[in-house]
Amino acid sequence: MPKFLFGYHGGSAPESPDDQAKVLAAWMAWIEGHGAAFIDPGEPVGQSNTVSASGIAPDGGPNPLTGYAIVKADDLAAATAIAKGCPILEDGGTVEVAQIHEM
């Protein structure tokens, strides 16, 4: 079964402990709701740089990555359907879905 990378962009970190608990619960419910599809539920990521031939863009450039996950699904449409339920969407973020090609 093909694997897909979910690249999370945007969203924000909740500030209060209560909000943190609610956000974590929403993420865990989404991940657990898809059973074995999540090969690696991923993690948030920190500060980054985007490196190109023209130089280095600090802070990840114009659309920085804020986290990732790896899922398995029948095809891109099925992986995209899983991504549609991601809690980051409720916080104004996006999910980039890309198939991982085995080498």
Domain count, the chain: 1
CA 62 – CA 79 distance, rounded (Å): 25
Report the pLDDT value the prediction gives residue 57, as an integer from 0 to 100.
87
Question: CB within 8 A of 66, min separation 6: which ones?
Answer: 8, 9, 10, 11, 44, 45, 88, 93
For the stretch 39-83, pLDDT in tens is: 999 999 988 988 989 999 888 777 889 999 999 999 999 999 999
**Domain range holding 44?**
3-100
> Residue 20's domain is classified under what CATH number?
3.30.70.1060
Report the pLDDT value the prediction gives residue 13, as an integer from 0 to 100.
80
